[in-house]
C-alpha cells in the first residue's frame, strides 16, 4: 500500500544479501567463509530493513523444529560478529514461534543484550475526513528500534469499517505523516486517545450490525477492548 509506507524509497538490503534457507553449517575447515559473511550481512539488515525482517519471519516460520534450533544455534555463535541489538535478529522469529522452549531461549538472549532497544518514537494517530463524511485514519504503534506497525482504515463511528489494512512492520521514517494523503484524504495529527475511542465506537457499530471484525484489527485488540479478537460477530 503506497500511501502507508512510501514516503522515501530505500533500497532493500534483503535484495542485496541472499535469503538463507537455513544458516550455513559450521565445520572445522569446510565452511565457506563467504556464506557466513553473507549470513551475517543479512542479519545486520534486520536492524534497519523492514522487508528483511519480514523475510526472516517467513523463512523461519517455514522451517522444521530441528532447522529452527540450528538457526538459533547460529545466532548464538555469531552474536559477536553481528553488531546490532539482539532484538533485531530475534523479534521476527518470536513473531512466528509458538514453541515455549524456543521462545524462552530467544527471550533470554534478548534480555542479556546491553544495547538500548527502546523504541525511538511514541505511538501516534492521524486522521482525515472525506467528502462523504466518512473518515480515514492511521494508527502507528512502536515495535522496537525504528520499526512500527501501522493500522490504516476507512470508517464511520456509527457504521463501522469500510476497509482496514495492517502493515505488521515498517520503518517509522517511511510511515505517512501529517499533510500526506491516504485514499485521497489529507491526514492531520489527532490525539491518540481520541482516535482509539473513535475506532472503538466503530468496532461496536460493526458488531451491532452483525458484521465480522476485520482480521487486521485483531493485532490491536488490546487497544480496543474485549471482543475485537473474537472470530465471530
Written as tens digits, the pLDDT of the chain (233 aa) is 443 433 333 333 333 334 444 565 555 444 577 888 888 888 899 998 999 998 999 999 999 999 999 999 989 888 778 888 899 999 999 888 989 999 999 999 888 886 776 777 899 999 999 999 999 999 999 988 889 999 999 999 999 999 999 988 888 989 999 999 999 999 999 999 999 999 999 999 999 999 998 888 887 877 876 555 454 44
- Note whether 133 and 194 are same-domain residues: yes
Q: How many CA atoms lie within 13 A of 143 on its CB side?
A: 24
Q: How far is CA 198 from CA 120, 142, 194, 214, in A?
A: 26, 20, 6, 16
Domain span at residue 37? 11-111
Using only the alpha carbons of the chain, give its radius of gyration.
Answer: 20
Of 63, 80, 111, the one marking the end of a domain is: 111
User: 90 in a domain, yes or no?
Assistant: yes
Q: Is residue 229 part of a domain?
A: no
Q: Does a structural domain hold residue 154?
A: yes
Q: Which three cell numbers stand for residue 38?
A: 553473507
Can you name the residues that pair with 126 across neighbouring β-strands? 138, 189
Residue 5 domain-assigned?
no
Sequence-distant (≥ 6) Cβ neighbours of residue 211 within 8 angstroms = 160, 233
Does any domain span residue 233?
Answer: no
- Same structural domain for residues 182 and 212? yes
118 falls within a domain: no
Statement to judge: residues 146 and 104 lie in one domain: no
Exposed (0-12), middle (13-18) or buried (19+): which is 145, by Cβ within 10 Å? buried
Which of 111, 146, 172 is where one domain is finished?
111
Q: Do 154 and 179 belong together in one domain?
A: yes
Residues 216 and 131 in one domain: yes
Residue 54 lies in a domain: yes
Give the pTM. 0.70
For residues 172 and 147, state if they share a domain: yes
Last residue within a domain, chosen from 111, 145, 170? 111
Shared domain for 137 and 186, answered yes or no, is yes
59, 20 Cβ separation under 8 angstroms: yes
Kindly report the CA angle at 164 between 189 and 204, in degrees rounded to 5? 85
Residue 226 pLDDT: 53
Please indicate, yes or no, whether residues 103 and 137 belong to a single structural domain of this protein: no
Do residues 57 and 79 share a domain? Answer: yes
On whether residue 6 sits in a domain, the answer given is no
Residues 105 and 135 in one domain: no
Are 146 and 200 in contact by the 8 Å Cβ rule? The answer is: no
Is the same domain home to 196 and 175? Answer: yes
Based on the domain organization, do 91 and 137 belong to the same domain? Answer: no
Count of the separate structural domains present in the chain? 2
Amino acid at each position: 500500500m503506497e500511501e502507508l509506507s512510501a514516503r522515501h524509497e530505500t533500497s532493500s538490503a534483503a535484495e542485496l544479501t541472499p535469503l538463507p534457507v537455513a544458516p550455513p553449517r559450521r565445520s572445522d575447515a569446510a565452511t565457506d567463509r563467504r556464506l557466513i559473511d553473507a549470513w551475517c550481512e543479512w542479519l545486520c539488515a534486520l536492524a534497519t530493513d523492514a522487508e528483511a525482517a519480514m523475510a526472516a519471519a517467513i523463512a523461519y516460520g517455514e522451517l522444521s523444529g530441528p532447522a529452527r534450533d540450528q538457526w538459533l544455534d547460529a545466532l548464538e555463535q555469531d552474536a559477536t560478529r553481528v553488531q546490532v541489538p539482539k532484538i533485531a535478529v530475534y523479534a521476527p522469529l518470536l513473531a512466528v514461534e509458538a514453541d515455549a522452549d524456543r521462545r524462552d531461549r530467544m527471550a533470554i538472549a534478548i534480555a542479556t543484550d546491553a544495547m538500548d532497544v527502546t523504541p525511538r518514537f511514541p505511538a501516534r494517530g492521524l486522521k482525515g475526513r472525506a467528502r462523504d463524511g466518512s473518515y480515514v485514519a492511521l494508527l502507528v504503534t512502536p515495535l522496537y528500534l525504528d520499526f512500527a506497525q501501522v493500522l490504516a482504515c476507512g470508517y464511520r463511528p456509527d457504521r463501522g469499517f469500510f476497509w482496514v489494512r495492517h502493515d505488521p512492520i515498517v520503518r517509522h521514517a517511511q510511515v505517512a505523516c501529517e499533510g500526506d494523503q491516504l485514499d485521497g484524504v489529507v491526514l492531520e495529527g489527532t490525539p491518540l486517545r481520541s482516535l482509539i475511542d473513535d475506532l472503538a465506537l466503530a468496532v461496536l457499530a460493526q458488531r451491532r450490525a452483525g458484521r465480522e471484525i476485520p482480521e487486521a484489527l485483531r493485532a490491536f485488540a488490546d487497544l480496543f477492548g474485549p471482543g475485537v479478537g473474537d472470530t465471530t460477530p
